[in-house]
Structure 1
Amino acid sequence: MTWPFVLTCIAVVVSPGPSLAVIVNQALRAGRTTGLATIAGNTSGLVFWAAASALGLTALVRTSEVAFVALKVAGALYLCWLGVQTLLRSRRHQEQPPEDLAAGERPRGLWSAYRAGLLANLSNPKAAALYLALLPQFLPPDGSVLSGTAVLTVVQMAISAGWYVLVVLAVGAVRRVLSRPTVRARLDQISGLILVGMGVRMATLTRATL
């Protein structure tokens, strides 16, 4: 492991992307616990891509047009669906009185939040490309591929999870301050539009951008 790898991982993780948008959306929807469950799902997706990278399966994303298109279309549709659901939720926030809103937003649906994070990661072609293009560059030439991949993966996942936990904690603080239904409705509108925009952007990805 080298510092260039750590710095590269930090740069990749803090860059806005589908995972960040989904995690923030879930944390705004139902609070800190739900956001942490979404992070767990996203991290599970990283485990999958790391295993696929070690087995050479992520090469399909770059070499197979069919695999690439299927993955990006699935990811685009999923992000757009989440965005539309969030926009619809913003209308409910405007219509609900504050006491009903607070009662309806107790931590719930942790499996749903976990699944949202997992699907957002698994349907992101850039996540596959990250493990295909990034990890091999930092593997020791005279070491085991499997053990080297495992070590780098643990480091990358720790950086990813740590950053997203900080984001969820920050969102939790903002969520407590901005608890009025009208403000929450505006936040949902912004979050929904961002998710839809991410979906559209993913739909226009080409393999050359990976």
Structure 2
Amino acid sequence: MSPADTLLVLASLWLVAVLTPGPNMILFMAVGLSSPTASIIALAAAIVLGTFLWGLAGLFGLFWLFELFPAAAMAVKVAGGLYLAWMGFGLIRRNLAPAPETAREPAAMLTPRRAFLTGLATALGNPKSLVFVSSLFAVTRLAEQPLAIGLAGVGVMIAMSTLYYVVLGVALRTLPFARRPGATGRVLAMGTGLVMMAYGGKMAWER
């Protein structure tokens, strides 16, 4: 298979992966409906960065590290899950507190910094992502291609993920209640926290 065919097959398979609902997508949708635009951008950047790092790990065959040291994979997954759940709990707790009368925004949506850290923890906190990427590279034989082609494949993954989250983010911000402060924003923020706690607990509990 030529390098062009390899990249085309990779793009087709990655498109399916990007469109399949998972922790990254659900977290992004929740934050997109409840937090400022800067936080959405920060979250998208974190998810794309996580994709980039898992892509490089799959390209350079780092999957063998988790095979040799399964305890390390478990530690990463548990730590990522617990961090995500803790961030979700904090978001709920702050939005349950009475908002100051002078506040013009719902108390404690995700700040850009928190959105970035939470997104990165979600993206990197699941070693199954490396298993999937490694399998994808094995099916397409991308790792057998010259390094430049392998890096191009990772670039395709990054470009497609970035485009997807840009389109999804713009679509979410067009919804009227996504930009409205007040009780609606607080409810959406607490919903974000519940999603984070649910997925964090799932990530930490699964074996």
Short-chain TM bin: 0.7 to 0.9
Find 2:133's aligned residue among 131, 134, 153: 131
Identity %: 23
- Unpaired runs of 5+ in structure 1? none
1:73–1:203 Cα contact (<8 Å) kept: yes
Report the CA distance shift for 1:205/1:63 in structure 2 as closer, same or farther (over 3 A).
farther
Partner of 1:205: 206
CA distance in 2, matches of 1:197, 1:127: 18
TM-score, normalized by length of structure 2? Answer: 0.81
Residue in 2 that maps onto 1:186: 187
Aligned to 1:30: 35
Deviations 1:31-86 (A, max 9, x none): 22221121112212222222222332233234532022111101210220121122
Task: After superposing the two structures, state which structure 1 stretch, 128-137 or 58-67, moved more.
Answer: 58-67
Q: What is the CA distance between 1:198 and its match in structure 2?
A: 0.8
Structure 2 residue matching 1:101: 3-state secondary structure = coil
Partner of 1:50: 55
Look up the equivalent residue of 1:90 and give its one-letter code: N
Query: Is 2:119 aligned against 1:117?
Result: yes
Q: Distance in 1 between matches of 2:11 and 2:72?
A: 30
Matched with 1:160 is: 161
Runs of 4+ in 1 over 4 A off after TM superposition: 103-106, 175-178
**1:10–1:159 Cα contact (<8 Å) kept:** yes
State the distance in 2 between where 1:114 and 1:180 align.
Answer: 22
Distance in 1, Cα, partners of 2:114 & 2:192: 18
Aligned to 1:16: 21
Quote the residue 1:102 is aligned against.
Answer: 105
How many residue pairs were aligned? 202
Letter in 2 for 1:114: F
Match of 1:88 among 70, 90, 93: 93
> Could you tell me how far apart the structure 2 residues matched to 1:149 and 1:190 are?
39
Q: State the distance in 1 between where 2:36 and 2:75 align.
A: 32
Describe the SS at the equivalent of 2:206.
Answer: coil
Equivalent positions of 1:55-74 (< 5 A) are: 55-74=60-79
The aligned counterpart of 1:7 is 12
C-alpha distance 109-142 of structure 1, shift in aligned 2 (>3 A): closer
Q: TM-score, with normalisation over the residues of structure 1?
A: 0.80
